[in-house]
Every structure is written in C-alpha cells, then in structure tokens.
Amino acid sequence: MGAAAGLFAKLWSPEEIKTRFSDIGKGTIEVEKGDITAQKVDVIIGTSSSVNLKNAILDAAGTAARTAYNAELRKNPQPILISIPSGGLPCKKIFLIKWRPEQDEAKLRKSIADFISNAIKYVIEHGFTSVAFPAIGCGDHQCSTNLVITTMLPETWVRSAEGTLRFTVSNTTPEYESVCTMFQQAMKGKCKQVVRIERIQNEQWYIQYIAHSKGFCRKLNKNTERRLYHGCSHDAADSIIKSCFNRSFAGVHGNTKSTVLLTISISCSLSLGTAYGQSVYFSTNAAYSHDYATPKANSERCMFVARVLIGTTIPGNSSMRTQPIGFDSTTDGNHIFVIYHDAQAYGEYLITYK
C-alpha cells in the first residue's frame, strides 16, 4: 500500500459519540471522544477556518508552533495547507488545511469528504503513516457530529471491533438484491447459485481509493468510475481483501504468469493475464471473469465486484509494465481494463457462487 501502510486515523468527537474502531490489516480507523492535541500520531489535522480549533491546537503546541504558523501566513495569506512543527504536541507535524462549511447537507458532506481526502493525500505525500482528525465544523460551525463521522465511511458499513474486513450481506436486504441481480445478469447463465455476498470493509484501502477518485475527477473533470469484475482463486481473494489489488499479482489473472512465459520464449503466445498490459485486470463481463475464478473442491468460486477508476484509457499490449504517459489504464477496446495503481480500484463485494 505504499507510504500509507498502517494508516491510523482518529476522529475527535464530543461526549455523545462512543468509541468505535475497526482494525484494517496493518492499521486501524478509530472514532473516539478525547483531546485532539493529546493524540500520539504522526500528523494532527486542523482547519484554519475554525478559530477555536486552530487556537486550541496552537496554544497546546506552544510559542514556536504559533510563530511558525504566523510566518507561513505572512508568506501566503490564502494557503490551502500550512505545515508547521509539532512544538509541544506528541506528533511530528501539524497540518492546518483550508476548509469552508456549507449550509446544504449534500454540499457539506462533499466538503467534508474533500477535506478528508485532501488531508490523506498530504499525509501520504509527506511520508507519514498516522493521522488524527477533529470532527471538523462541530464547534464553531455547529455541524452535526454524526453527519461528520458517517460521511467518512459508506452508510451500509457496519461496526467491527474484531478486525473483520468482510461482512456477509443478508439476503433479505435491498443491498443484496441489487448486487445479486446485477451479477446474475452479467454472468449470462454461468452462475447456478449465489452462495453468499460479502461486503469488504477495509477502511484504509477505501480512504485511499476515495482520495484517488477525487484526484481523477479534478484532473479529468468527469467521473470515470466503473463497476467491474475480477475473478480469482479463494487464496488470492484473501490476499486482495487484506492488501488490495496489489500489482505484484499482475499476470496471475491469466492462465500463466507472464514472467514464466517470457523466460521460455519471447515468441510464445502470452496468456490473457498480460496480453493488454502487465498489471491488474478487470472486465465489464462477469462471464469472462468467471474463467479465472478457480473453483475449490466443493465447486465454489469467487469473484470481486470492484469500483475501478479507468480514467483515460488506451489499447494495451503485452510489453506494457505501466500505462503510457497521459493515460490511466489500458484496454482491449471492448470489455477488459488494466490498471497500474494500487489505489485505482476498490473491491466492494466478494461473491461466492457455484
């Protein structure tokens, strides 16, 4: 997962919010009540638009931190980000990020999501791996604490206190019906029985994906997210859920690893696992991905329903180890898409079927 491995995010919240947490492989996201200035993390996040929050952080950090803040403000009176030393706080850096609250709830949720994704982006860019967020807007701007907290994660997610990354979706819910219907239609008769649908709740992976998605939207001025399929073995699925669609799996989606084929002969035909680029493959056609879903002894197979940012795409070939400059993915020109960044896809559901 790169520099963000072990990302540990905390949200400071008032008394009515009880502590909630979920282990995420190498890291944790925790929602708790407490003092933002007492958090032992790499970066404490604040916002310059909240006078009380900003002053509370600077007062606790001490004179040197406030002097550094004032000096940065003189150099740039309208900063997006001010990074200053931690002073007396138990962190390495303080980031004060520009944020403007909105009266409309939908716009407020979007502004909070943008604030969080920008903060994560800055934390990763600076090489840090842990961060503490305040419940922004809940003081000076009187925003709903529950709205701020729940904006960070999808509404369908449930609480986990045991490090669980996968949750079985009840077959009586609209969520199950929607995913199952879409999958059965895309399988074109190849699925005889859906055994279970699991929702993947890997917060670290999800937050990185959302930050990447925001960057794509800013760069391309449009939404290029697609709902695609990825068939694999059950062992590979376990690894993906813990470590995302890591590019070290490139080629495994096909019949043979590309490295083996290239060692034998550069003239032999390549498997479809690398025919359009040496990275991670997805398809709009679940019936196609079915061929790569290796069955267990009991005939059960598994397939991911993934959210994938295809961006600007170009036809790929077997020699491509990364996408060409100016492009975000490669394709067969029809239903196959190959991505080259670990945060460019999020495995939303894992479907086990026969």
Q: Which of these, 164, 188, 186, 311, lies nearest to 242 by C-alpha position?
A: 164
% helix, strand, coil for the chain, step of 5: 35, 25, 40
List pLDDT tens digits, range 91-136.
999 999 888 776 676 777 777 777 877 887 788 788 887 788 776 6
Q: In whole numbers, what is the pLDDT of the chain averaged over residues?
A: 75
pLDDT for 113 equals 73
DSSP annotation of 199 reads E
CA atoms within 13 A on the CB side of 240: 27
Structure tokens at 108: 């407020």
Q: Is the pLDDT of residue 69 over 90?
A: yes
Whole-structure pTM over 0.85, yes or no?
no
CB 143 within 8 A of CB 101: yes
Could you give the domains of the chain? Answer: 2-151 (3.40.220.10), 166-353 (3.90.228.10)
pLDDT for 194 equals 96
pLDDT grade for 151, boundaries at 50, 70 and 90 = low
Alpha-carbon distances, residue 247 vs 281, 283, 344 (angstroms): 10, 16, 11
Q: Which residues of 289-310 are buried (b: 16+ CB within 10 A; e: fewer)?
A: bbebbeeeeeeebbbbbbbbbb
Sign of the CA dihedral 179, 183, 186, 188? negative
Q: Select the more confidently predicted residue: 60 or 261.
A: 60
d(CA 16, CA 61): 27
Phi, psi of 162 (to 5 degrees): -125, 20
Say how many residues make up the chain. Answer: 354
d(CA 324, CA 262): 21
Q: Which of these, 53, 62, 2, lies nearest to 27 by C-alpha position?
A: 2
C-alpha gyration radius of the chain: 22
pLDDT grade for 17, boundaries at 50, 70 and 90 = very low
Q: In what order do the strands lie in the sheet with 130-134?
A: 20-24, 27-33, 8-13, 130-134, 43-47, 93-97, 81-85
Alpha-carbon distances, residue 83 vs 11, 86, 123, 163, 253 (angstroms): 19, 9, 11, 32, 43
